[in-house]
Chain A
């Protein structure tokens, strides 16, 4: 049972345009959601997060939206830059115990000049 799903394995966007990455989850007990960025042969780097009491969180070019009723979150990157090309993972956790993260499969984002 995959509790966190990223249905798009890849996404190609032109430089300067908006990149929208999507993520769906099934566990209604999740109350913390995160996006990580990963380059090859490196560990994931934390990008932005949102708690379940909010529906939007913004940090510079990055905005995360949470729709609890639809169990859906998205990451918007505006404007997209070549350095944004990477694999993006969404993750979710409850706040109980060890706060274990459940990850999606990842979306490879390619920004074209």
Chain B
């Protein structure tokens, strides 16, 4: 069966520090990968998605970047964090092989910027 791992679960970082969040998927190959953010009391907003190694699409202008160095690895980064980067970050994967398939989410990273 497929599983998705995100780490760390929580992170407290000072303003201006760098960021690296990692997500890996097991049990599937060539998935679509996604990064979402949930701000307090809000829905989930898609930040980045990737349909293959090295292929990254950004949905919203922001202080963050994403990379996909391997088929089942997705990384969210920042060179200098802002206060507005605080939130709950979620990684998800979806299948390309079949239509009408849901995305599956990791347990998320709670990022607090001080």
Q: Do A and B come from one complex?
A: yes
Convert A48-92 into 0s and 1s, putting 1 for each residue whose CB lies closer than 8 angstroms to a CB of B: 010100000000000000000000000000000000000001010
Q: Main SS of chain B's interface residues? A: strand
A side interface size, CB within 8 A = 26
Interface stretch of the complex, out of B13-21, B42-50, B63-71, B78-86: B42-50
Contacts of B57 in A (CB 8 A): 98
B74 at the interface (CB under 8 A from A): no
Residues of chain B at the chain A interface (Cβ within 8 Å): 6, 9, 32, 34, 36, 42-46, 49, 51, 57, 59, 90, 92, 94, 99-100, 102-108, 110
Residues of chain A at the chain B interface (Cβ within 8 Å): 4, 6, 32, 34, 36, 41-46, 49, 51, 89, 91, 95, 97-106
